[in-house]
Amino acid sequence: MQHQSIAEEIIQVARLMFDRRLTDIAGGNISARAGDKIYITPRYAGSRQHWQLAPADILCASIDGDELLQHPRCSRESRMHLAIYRHYPDVGAVIHAHPFHVLPFCVAGRAIEPVLEGTQKFGVTPVAPFAPAHSEALAQHVVEKLHGREAIIRKQAAAVLLAKHGIVVAGLDLLAAVDALERIDWNAWCILSQSLLPAAPLTYSTTPS
C-alpha cells in the first residue's frame, strides 16, 4: 500500500511538471524517501512515456545499497539521488528537471539570484561544475553544493544548477520540492525578461494634442 501511495504522488508531480514546462521530454527524474527506501521514476520516463507513468513503473530500492544502480530501468541520475539522501537525512524528496526558464542559466554557468520575495528563502542557487549525468563526480558536486544549506532544506528546499544540464531540488517532501522548483523557474524568467523592459518608465501625456 505504501508503494502505491508514494508512486501515485510521484506520478502526479511528474505530470504537473511536464504540463507546466518544469521539465521536458528529454528527461529528468523524481524520487521520494520512505524510511530506508528510495522510490524513483524509471529511465526513459520522458522520452518514451512522455511522463505518463503508472505505479508499476516506479522503482523501489534500498538507499544504503547499490541495487538500484543495477536495475535495467535505472535512470541516469539515480546515483545523484542516492548520494543526496545518504548525506542529508532531512531530505524527503529529490527532483531533477530541465525547466524552460532555468536552462539558459545552466548553459551560461550562471547562478540564479533570488529576485522575487517568494524565492528569498532559497538564497542563491549555485552552479555545480559539469560532470556526466551518470557519474559519481556529478553526485559529489551536488552534495558539495548543498553543504551548509541544511537549514534551507529544513525550511523547504535547496536547489543546485547542473552546468549544461538542468537543476536538482532537494526538499522536505515532494510538494515542497516541486513548489521550490516552480518558484525558481519563474524567478529565472523574471531575470531573463529584464532585457525586454524599456530603459526607463514610459510617460504618457494626458493632455489632448
pLDDT confidence tier of residue 1, bands split at 50, 70 and 90: very low
Stronger pLDDT, 27 or 37, i.e. the higher one: 37
pLDDT of residue 77: 96
Which of 26-35, 74-83, 97-106, 199-208 has the lowest average pLDDT? 199-208
C-alpha cell at 180: 521550490
pLDDT in tens, 58-70: 999 999 999 999 9
pLDDT of residue 204: 63
Q: With pLDDT > 90 as the criterion, what percentage of the chain qualifies?
A: 90
pLDDT in tens, 149-208: 999 999 999 999 999 999 999 999 999 999 999 999 999 999 999 988 888 776 666 666
Mean pLDDT of 29-50: 97
pLDDT in tens, 79-92: 999 999 999 999 99
Q: Which CATH class is domain 2-190?
A: alpha beta
Residue 46 has pLDDT above 90, yes or no: yes
Mean pLDDT of 111-129: 98
Mean pLDDT of 117-130: 98
